[in-house]
Structure 1
Amino acid sequence: METATEGQKLEFKNFENKPTALVAGGAGFLGSYLCEALIAQGFNVLCVDNLARSSKKNIEKLLSFPNFFFWEEDINRAGFTISPNVKITHIFHLASVEEYLSSNNLSLETLLVNSIGTKNLLDVAVQKKAKFIFVSSSEVFRGAFSQKNLSIYFGKEAGTTHLTFGEAKRFSETLAAEYFNKFDLPVVIVRIKDPYGPKMNLSSDNIVSKSISQAIKGKIEIIGDGLRVANPTFVTDIIFGIVKAAIKGEKGEIFNLISRERCTERALAEHLKKLFGGVEVVYKEQKELDLPESPLILDDAQGKLNWDPKVPLDDGLVQTVNFYKVGGTENKEEKNVPSNPIVPPVELTGKKGFDKNFLRNLFLGAILVLFLWATAVPIITSAASYYLGNKNFNSALEELKQDKTDNAVAHAEKAENFYKRSQESLQNISWLLTATNLKGTLQQTSNYLFLAETLSRAVNFESKSIGNINDASSADGEKLKEDLKKAIENITEADKNIDVASTISIDARKLPAFLNKDYQTLQEKRQTLESLSETINSNLESTQ
């Protein structure tokens, strides 16, 4: 422990002026998205995870960021603490946040993480005077029904893990409240329900993950009439709410980050059947009664945080399904990859007295060529991709202003892909920039490219929305309604990307000189997109 925390202290020195977040469960589904969001917000992030039910693959893209640190550790361990030299401003507790996994062992772990683990994190929060954000679940509302279901605590019925999870979260909330009362600890609680999205854990027993898991296998089995209700909430909406609660939430507040969009198990199966194609939906007799639906409180976050889910269910399912269609996996064991390639020995043959200097020069020359290849190629690729991204972005924006929506969409998609490619190439030389004390430049350039990528998506969705409005102008009846609905959905997505762009923190002083002017221009383009969005929204409101 001491070695790990001392190492973290040395790395954090260059970022002491930034807020520092400890994310427990940071390599999990929700935790990995939260780490990405906090990095984009300019936080230092210490990700703590024992990898029992998560995967390091979820955070592999973050490992090269200079202000991201991964620590494989169990928060349940006796004596868990953080070195006094490491400054922590926020603690996010997302360990065991994914709902009621079916394994009995994981049910026990759920209780331990939400008791011992929570206490350990609360003690660290008191020591560091850090804000404590606990991610809970709507399952706590089931407490009113627990007295009617005590008989199944010692059974093997499916409801047992539901009760385990709900009671564990209720205990954690109560424990956090006691620390709030006793130590005046700034505690904020957020509750979620039915989270879903790419990288979700398909072993979870909630309606959404179970249905997607079965759809992948080609057969969805529905027990009973299929009228169980879910409130699927897309992962990025949840994360946006958690970050808002951490920054704007007052101590002692509770926020329910739950979508108002309800969906029955039957309707969800039909959605997935259309998306996957060739999926069979089978109904089976229900032999056991379900636990009663828990009551929900949905107004706190909307009022206090001005939070509302932006991603409609159809769009979220498309993104999730596409992730698994192209081979996305969850919780696979990571294979041990040797740090150096294993090369079979090569036997040199030749005449006696072979010139050793020639061999040495040949070897040094080969190393030089490899070094130039490893550095020059990524730099050239990143620069070329950035140039092409700018070219397509500018074309898309001009075409958007001229109502050439189809061309604008095509160029915006190309711009987004080129900016992504530029970021990937830049990360390939992160080791070189780190070694030459250019970590800050690397971070700010990555943030800049992410900003450009996000604004490209905004142009894409605004162009689609205007195209839908143009189509609606010559339509009537159901076609008119459908076009206007699509226009609203697309401008909502555009607004979401503009909102994300406004939260990306960039220190222009650390950008390469040639990007400084481009950064100012990009900010002006963001303002242009905001203005266009307001006009589009105004036009759509007039049609209502």
Structure 2
Amino acid sequence: MGYQNLKFPENSVFLVTGGAGFIGSNLCEAILNLGYKVRCLDDLSTGKQENVDLFIDNPNYTFIKGDIKDLDTCMKACEGVDYVLNQAAWGSVPRSIEMPLFYCANNIAGTLNMLEAARQNNVKKFVYASSSSVYGDEPNLPKKEGREGNLLSPYAVSKRADEEWAKQYTRHYGLDTYGLRYFNVFGRRQDPNGAYAAVIPKFIRQLLNGETPTINGDGKQSRDFTYIENVIEANLKACLADSSAAGQAYNVAYGGREYLIDIYYGLTKALGVDKEPNFGPDRAGDIKHSNADISKAKANLGYDPDWSFDKGIKAAIEWYKDNL
């Protein structure tokens, strides 16, 4: 259970791309707490300087301001690195529909640069962020690897392309790659601001500020909301996985299913707010229901998440109360 007792070789060096972002900064923090060296690569386009400043005084932490779209930057960042945790990407399905060329350049070509840099620098393990969006319109629940549908957004295309490129690097170059299909991650340091903010922090911020949140659609869509601690566990356990598990993608979730309208009323209750939501149109490219089968990650990576949605949402609410 968890990751706090995981052991890596002494003086191991981890490169976290997108390390100034929500998931990346939490990975940096966890690795530093385990006593290993962390290199953070981020261009601060969506990541935050404050997430760098948290660790900048730690002698095991190095920040590189740079862009994964530049191969030379990736090559330098990978020098002497044992494990790459590639989180650098732009998220948001709606934004990807508005900016398809950028998503191709950043999420696909940028990841390919990182794969090539990792290969040339003899990195041991390359773990990268994929997404539940790769399941597209496949209607069956739970979502199971190998049973994908038609992709519904440029963002989903970018993540599926990353998986295919990673397979090639395992097949032809012997680079151990592990794709992690994140299901609606939430938790501390997730940005509650902006048009493309994730729903949980956005609702919490709005309710704390006395605003009325808008739910896209009827609120009856469901998601396998996954607390950040489970995602950290999956990344670190993938770094210790057997090579026979490489070249594949894995669902990373708790394996639950929460309805948006239930989450909304749960938040109003927890925050002591009596406010009905507004309802807006469905978002283009969104999947209606999402719930993960995590048996493959359990079998191949030893993934055993112990943060349920209820446990995670309590922790998240407390963090936002203290930090908003």
TM-score by length of 2: 0.82
Separation of aligned partners in 1, 2:77 and 2:198:
40
Which of 288, 297, 303 matches 2:293? 297
Opposite residue 208 of structure 1, the aligned amino acid is I
Of 28, 32, 43, which aligns to 1:39?
Answer: 32
> Do structure 1's residue 187 and structure 2's residue 177 form an aligned pair?
yes
RMSD over aligned CA atoms reads 2.9
Match of 2:275 in 1: 280
Q: Which amino acid is the alignment partner of residue 280 of structure 1?
A: K
Letter aligned with residue 193 of structure 1: F
1:169 and 2:165 matched: no
**1:208/1:230 contact within 8 Å kept:** no
C-alpha distance in structure 2 between counterparts of 1:292 and 1:87, whole Å = 43
Residue of structure 1 in register with 2:132 after alignment: 138
For residues 333-412 of structure 1, what are the structure 2 equivalents within 5 Å?
Answer: none
Cα distance in 2, alignment partners of residues 212 and 249 from structure 1 = 40
Cα deviation, residue 249, structure 1: 4.5
C-alpha distance 287-318 of structure 1, shift in aligned 2 (>3 A): closer
Task: Tell me the residue number matched to 1:541.
Answer: none
Match of 1:215 among 207, 232, 244: 207
1:288: how far off? Answer: 7.5
Q: How many pairs align?
A: 301
Measure, in 2, the Cα distance between the counterparts of 1:288 and 1:140. Answer: 17
Note the C-alpha offset of 1:318.
Answer: 2.4
1:70 alignment partner AA: F
> Aligned residue for 1:74?
67
The alpha-carbon distance between structure 1 residues 226 and 82, as it changes in their structure 2 partners (threshold 3 A), is same
State whether structure 2 residue 263 is matched by structure 1 residue 271.
Answer: no
Q: Give the number of the structure whose residues are more often helix, by fraction.
A: 1
Say if 2:130 and 2:181, in contact at 8 Å, map to a contact too. Answer: yes
Q: Distance in 1 between matches of 2:319 and 2:288?
A: 33
- The whole-number CA distance in structure 2 between the counterparts of 1:141 and 1:48 is 29
> Quick one: distance in 1 between partners of 2:29 and 2:208?
27
Equivalent positions of 1:369-518 (< 5 A) are: none
Moved more, 82-91 or 195-204: 82-91
Does structure 2 retain, via aligned residues, the 8 Å contact 1:191–1:256? yes
Where 2:230 maps in the other structure, the secondary structure is helix
Cα distance in 1 for partners of 2:109, 2:294 equals 30
Question: 1:299: how far off?
Answer: 1.4
Task: Decide whether aligned partners of structure 1 residues 45 and 140 sit closer, same or farther in structure 2, where only a CA change above 3 A counts.
Answer: same
Q: Which amino acid aligns with 1:35?
A: C
**Offset of residue 294 of structure 1:** 5.5
- Structure with bigger strand share is 2
Letter in 2 for 1:306: G
SS of equivalent to 2:110: helix
Partners of 1:24 and 1:309 in 2: how far apart? 23
Which of the two has higher C-alpha Rg?
Answer: 1
Write the letter of the residue equivalent to 1:259: Y
- What's the CA shift string for 1:111-166, capped at 9, x where partnerless? 322222111111111111112111111111117599978xxxxxxxxxxxx61211
Q: SS at 1:71's partner residue?
A: strand
Partner in structure 2 of residue 22 of structure 1: 15
2:5 corresponds in structure 1 to none
* Superposed CA offset, 1:275-321 (max 9, x none): 22224122536477864546743211223333233223233222222
Alignment of 1:89-238 (within 5 A): 89-96=82-89, 98-100=91-93, 102=95, 108-130=101-123, 131-142=125-136, 163-202=153-192, 203=194, 204=196, 206-218=198-210, 219-238=212-231
C-alpha distance in structure 1 between counterparts of 2:137 and 2:81, whole Å: 33
Aligned residue identity for 1:136: S
**Contact 2:255–2:291 (CA under 8 A) maintained in structure 1:** no
Which ranges of 4 or more aligned residues in structure 1 deviate by more than 6 Å? 103-106, 145-149
TM value normalised by structure 1:
0.51
Q: Residue 269 of structure 1: SS of its match in structure 2?
A: helix
Deviations 1:399-447 (A, max 9, x none): xxxxxxxxxxxxxxxxxxxxxxxxxxxxxxxxxxxxxxxxxxxxxxxxx
CA contact (8 A) 2:233 2:305 kept: no
CA separation in 1, counterparts of 2:23 and 2:150? 32
Offset at residue 222 of structure 1 (A): 2.5
Report the Cα distance in structure 2 between the residues aligned to 1:238 and 1:217, rounded to whole angstroms.
29
Equivalent of 2:57 in 53, 64, 79: 64
278-287 or 99-108: bigger deviation: 99-108
Match for 1:55 among 23, 26, 48? 48
Letter in 2 for 1:215: L
Structure 2: distance between partners of 1:42 and 1:222? 42
Could you say if the C-alpha distance between residues 273 and 36 of structure 1 is closer, same or farther in structure 2, counting changes exceeding 3 Å?
A: same
1:88 CA drift (Å): 1.3
Distance apart, 1:20 and its partner CA: 1.2
**Other structure's SS at 1:188 match:** strand
Gaps of 5+ in 1: 1-15, 150-161, 329-544
Unaligned stretches of 5+ residues in structure 2: 1-8, 140-147
Change (3 A) 1:115 1:84: closer
| Percentage of identical aligned residues | 25
Cα distance in 2, alignment partners of residues 291 and 140 from structure 1: 10
Partner of 1:256: 251
Letter of the aligned partner of 1:175 in structure 2? Answer: W
1:181 alignment partner AA: R
1:214–1:101 distance in 2 versus 1, CA, 3 Å: farther
- How big is the shift at 1:200? 0.5
Over 3 Å counting, the alpha-carbon distance change for 1:304 and 1:53 in structure 2 is same
**Native 8 Å contact 1:97 1:136 kept in 2:** no
Distance 1:198 1:287 in 2: 27
- TM-aligned CA distance change 1:186 to 1:121, over 3 Å: same
Alignment match, 1:306: 302
Larger relative contact order (C-alpha < 8 A, sep ≥ 6)?
2
